[in-house]
Amino acid sequence: MKLISRLINNVVGFSVAMIFATQIPANADTKIPFTLDWKFEGPSAPYFAAIDNGHFASAGLDVEISSGKGSLDAIPKVATGAFPIGFADINSVIKFLDQNPGAPIIGVMMVYDKPPFAVIGRKSLGINGPSDLEGSVLGAPPPDGAWAQFPSFAKANGIDISKVTVEPVGFPTREPMLAEGKVDSITGFSFSSYLNLVRLGVPENDISTILMADHGLQLYGNVIVVNTDFAKANEAIVKAFLVAVAAGWKDAIMDPASAVASLIKRNPAADAALEKRRLLLSIEANVLTDYVKENGMGNVDAARLSNAIEQLGETYEYKGEPNAALYFTDQYLPAGGFSLN
């Protein structure tokens, strides 16, 4: 917990964390800061739709959304109390809690039922599938969620990591380096890296997207996370927030163009057509899965989560005994999850 205390002091000050740990009366002026894990792109459109379509306001919430720099940026923001609610990769949450026992953060609503972790390569550079990665150069940002899962992906596919030349790259230079042929492949979220390459002029038929979930990875993806001190004191607010988020996603599925218009209002420099494609890719591949269609959005399958925790342990040495109850709870979800139909 020393790390958590230090982060609180560095990021926001202890007083802010204490404010979020107290009960906030729900009214039209209830301000809720919400941090994403990434930039304002297509997959974040549903949250802006939830604002513009009045779903948060109907719940008495005034939500302010902030961009992020990866899950390793978003998670401490929530754990320290800088933000009461955020969006992050649940696998990174699991590792964070293992390294910081007792940290006040937990997943409460699964959004990416199928994770978008991927290796994205170019066929012209010899990358068509997992077996092509040995002997190649892989560009990977150290804080990247997909890179964090690469060891598990490699193990599942019999890849000798020592035979892969890993080039640490920054997020802004990741896709440009692949477009310029300076690396043969990169790690990233499938919908983001793929369309970034298209925007840079790489022919779509030259891009190979190796989705880790289709190649042995049993993990879940991104989840709405809450500061547990805040959630315990404000259960009704957390529940209302999740209802509004689900409504935003339902709106985005029904009318993706309108949802993207809400996004463009916050990011005018973005390409609306490109971001609509990015949103649709995330809906089709990661959000509206067969499981979600049958069981509703938000919850997890206990057996699958247990298997995911076990698979993480194949390449990550837990310091303590892993416990699924520390990483995810359904107590803020309605029975049967949220219907997106």
Q: What is the predicted pLDDT for the residue at 143?
A: 83
Residue intervals of the chain classified under CATH 3.40.190.10 are 2-113+220-326, 117-214
Question: What is the sign, positive or negative, of the torsion defined by CA atoms of 124, 129, 132, 134?
Answer: positive
- Give the distance, in angstroms, between the CA of residue 44 and the centroid of all CA atoms in the same chain: 10
Residue type, 53: N
pLDDT (tens, 9 = 90+) of the chain, 341 residues, equals 444 444 434 443 333 443 445 565 555 579 999 999 999 999 999 999 999 999 999 999 999 999 999 899 999 999 999 999 999 999 999 999 999 999 999 999 999 999 999 999 999 999 999 999 999 999 999 988 899 899 999 999 999 999 999 999 999 999 999 999 999 999 999 989 999 999 999 999 999 999 999 999 999 999 999 999 999 999 999 999 999 999 999 999 999 999 999 999 999 999 999 999 999 999 999 999 999 999 999 999 999 999 999 999 998 999 999 999 999 999 999 999 999 98
Residue 200 to residues 43, 106, 171, 249: CA-CA distances in angstroms? 20, 37, 15, 29
Q: Which CATH class is domain 117-214?
A: alpha beta
Report pLDDT for 145.
Answer: 84
Is the backbone of residue 288 left (phi > 0), alpha (psi -120 to 50) or beta? beta
- Structure token digits, residue 159: 């890849």
Name the β-bridge partners of 63: 32
Q: Can you tell me whether residue 208 is helix, strand or coil? A: strand
Task: Reduce the DSSP state of residue 146 to 3 states and report it.
Answer: helix
Taking the CB of residue 304, how many other CB atoms lie within 10 A of it?
A: 14
Q: Tell which CATH classification among 3.40.640.10, 3.40.50.620, 3.40.190.10, 3.40.605.10 matches the domain 2-113+220-326.
A: 3.40.190.10
What are φ and ψ of residue 18, in 5° steps?
-70, -35
Question: What pLDDT shows up at residue 24?
Answer: 59
Per the CB < 8 A criterion, the answer to whether 220 and 312 are in contact is no
Residue 5, phi then psi, degrees to nearest 5: -60, -40
Residues 168 and 214: beta-carbon distance below 8 Å: no
**Are 46 and 244 within 8 A, CB to CB?**
no
Give ∠ CA 282-284-286 in degrees, rounded to 5. Answer: 50
The interaxial angle of helices 145-156 and 90-99, nearest 10 deg, is 100
User: In whole angstroms, what is the distance from residue 34 CA to residue 17 CA?
Assistant: 14
